[in-house]
Chain A
Amino acid sequence: MMEPLRITAQMAEPVIVMGNALHFDGILAYGAYQALTRAEKEALPPLPGADWAEDMDLPLERWQRPGIALPGVHPRLLWAGSVWGWKASAACARWLSHDRHEVRKKPAVDEMARLSRDGRVQIDGMRFKASDKRYPTLWAPVIRWYAVGDLPEVARLLSYVVGVGKLCGQGMGHLCFRDDGMPDWTVEPWHSDWSCYAETADGRVTMRHMAKEDPSELDLYRAEAIRAPYHHACRRYPCEPFDGTALAKYACDE
């Protein structure tokens, strides 16, 4: 049964958010991918270098708007004269601190000296370059999202997600863990649908990247990804103005 939902993550680590406002359908699509069998994962077309990204089948409702073909908009994003996305908000969080996380990439010079037959290695450029990458991080103890979906299925897919944002494999963006060993996600019914817009006493707030109705080429400068995977260029479409910082108040209990 589809119903309005509020999703809460108790965070253990700062998050690396790189420009996509951390939409919930992106996180759920990752969970849906993880819930596939290995054979199903291998059957999916790989994303790197691909012109188009297949959609995961998510237990969420969809929004739909009339769409038009524009230069730079992927033709497959338009479906029967419209564009669509999942009813899932961007992250609502009171970001308490901004910091940076450094990752050192040390060339394996010692290992090469012992195991390789090559005479020299260039470490100031090209593929073996030593580097110290810095990523901006955001810290909030609680992050919330709003969606319209099937509660048990959303909760099942989230149980495969231990962290959000970039560099989860190295510990960034991890959630707290409950004593039963599962990540601390809470999915609960919510009184209103705040997935795309929230109607509150303060007025109407846009909760996610929403495709602009009747856009022109002039709107292309405001193109954003409208559904998962948000990093992929094929999802970009002119969008309504969106201010992620305005969502902070929706991270509070009420």
Chain B
Amino acid sequence: MEAVKKISVTKKINHWLLTISFLVLLFTGIGFAHRIVSWINAFFSSTYFASEIHKWGGVIFGFTLLFSIGSYLVTSLRFGGDDVRDGDRSRKANVPPQGRLSLGQKLFYLTLLVLGLAIVVSGFILWLPNSSRGLLQLGLIVHNVAFMALIVTLPFHVYLVIAANPGTYRIVTHTTAPFKWAKKRYTKRVKKPGVD
């Protein structure tokens, strides 16, 4: 099967580190936020150990987020005529030719980046040993509002990758996509088999 390489191995590893660290943060974080599910933290030995995992998991999440900037930020900030046509829902039947990222992917990345950085920075404020009460209160609100927005957005990302667009998931497992499949979706970018 002819294939096209969509992402590098480094980006693949970064994506999985981001995913795994997010899941660890999600489960430990929910364990902290709701007493009714505080038993989740028993999986991490103790609540205190779970909080340590949450902090250092946040550090990994933050670094992977920063790494992703080099990969996706510039592309995500470039909006062209096809992106505008892609966003026009009345013309949805004729999806315009796409480059490396579609409009939805660009917007999702920018949303993830802003919310993720807000969570990381506010989490760091909550972690600092001598943050004032006012700073703690601000950090608490930012951390939770950003988390709320992120957790509402993420199921759509997971759904689109795994269920709605069969074949997309393969990119983060194999780093490649079938040439014909990729050419159809990323018409402007994919011209021939090989490296995208």
Asked if A and B are interacting partners, one says no
A: residues with CB less than 8 A from B are none
B: residues with CB less than 8 A from A are none
